[in-house]
Structure 1
Amino acid sequence: MKEFNVAGSKISLALFTDVSNSRELLDSIQAGTLEPEVALMNASLIPDVFPVLAAAYNALIAKSRDSLTTRTLHSELVYNYSGSKHITESLKRFGISDKTTYILAVRFGASSDEHYKITSQELAISSLSDAITCRIAVRDAL
């Protein structure tokens, strides 16, 4: 996972390969039940991270002006990534389909401790890096 600061907001990007449940993910996005909310993009259409960050910047500016074209900040990012003014076409072209296996997940405002569910009590006695390493080490034992 990579994190970037864009216009004062933390943007987290994670790349997933060999995804086999894209139909379920797409259904959750369309129903508005995907938790946590993320933008899921067809990663095979993304040559570099910079255009994604530019689209994220535009989405954040639109939100700050209360002028989102789409329903959510995350769908606004996918819409802004497209050069088209047609929302549905943009989301279909650059979002995921039921056959997408290479996905870039983009989330606004995520933090590493939230991703790994690190508690404040754990951080009081160890570093974030140690807590994450512990999670990885004991994953199969639990």
Structure 2
Amino acid sequence: MSQSVLEFETFPGRTLTLALFKNCKNSKDVRAAIRDPTMTEFAYINAALIVDPFLVHLAGYRALAAESSGRLNSKSLHTELIYDISGTRHVAESLKRFGITDECKSLLVARFDCKPEELAALKSRIQGEEVPLSELASLADLNLIDKYYKLTKAELQVRSRADAAAFRIGAKDFL
């Protein structure tokens, strides 16, 4: 199994399961299926925009905190995860940039409190190679990451790209 399960100390019993796929051939079909109300909800993230799994963990924490306080900025916990992983305060722009597109070749799929049968059903729908989460950085598009998080060369001289993006995620409510 290549998926990873993240836990949240502040939210006991809550987990976030991640599965990474590359060379996806049916992103358009997966994207169309997102709108199907009979499908189990997952967060489908463009893996090219995520340089480190820690960013997903941080966004997951923010999403759970928003849910527990009744302050979701989006319609569901899984869309909140995508919103929280972005550096912008605009929900639609976050989903457009960090969600999957018809042309996505690498997908990072996440589900809170995922059951094994839900994950198995997901894997049967994605036509791509499931790879370990350790390959995430190798799939990253650094130019797009810099653009969407508004990272500067000067900033990247003193901190890592993952640290700079984490700062944007953590401070988004104050920027």
- TM bracket, shorter-chain basis: 0.7 to 0.9
| TM-score, length-scaled by structure 2 | 0.62
Q: Secondary structure at the match of 2:66?
A: helix
Cα displacement (A) at 1:66: 1.2
Q: Which residue of 2 aligns with 1:57?
A: 61
Cα displacement (A) at 1:112: 3.8
Q: Which residue of 2 aligns with 1:22?
A: 27
Distance 1:20 1:34, change over 3 A: farther
Q: Distance in 2 between matches of 1:82 and 1:64?
A: 20
Q: Which structure: larger Rg?
A: 1
Q: Which residue of 2 aligns with 1:70?
A: 74
Q: Which residue of 2 aligns with 1:97?
A: 101
Q: Distance in 2 between matches of 1:21 and 1:27?
A: 10
- Sequence identity of aligned pairs in percent? 38
Q: Secondary structure at the match of 2:48?
A: helix
Structure 1, unaligned stretches of length 5 or more? 118-142
Q: Which residue of 2 aligns with 1:3?
A: 5
Distance 1:34 1:54, change over 3 A: farther
Q: Secondary structure at the match of 1:11?
A: strand
CA contact under 8 A between 2:47 and 2:107: conserved in structure 1?
A: yes
CA contact under 8 A between 1:25 and 1:34: conserved in structure 2?
A: no
> What is the total number of aligned residue pairs between the two structures?
116
Deviations 1:4-62 (A, max 9, x none): 11232111000011111111221222x24362211010101111000110000000011
Q: Distance in 1 between matches of 2:117 and 2:28?
A: 28
| TM-score, length-scaled by structure 1 | 0.75
What's the Cα RMSD here?
1.7
Cα displacement (A) at 1:64: 0.7
Q: Which residue of 2 aligns with 1:81?
A: 85
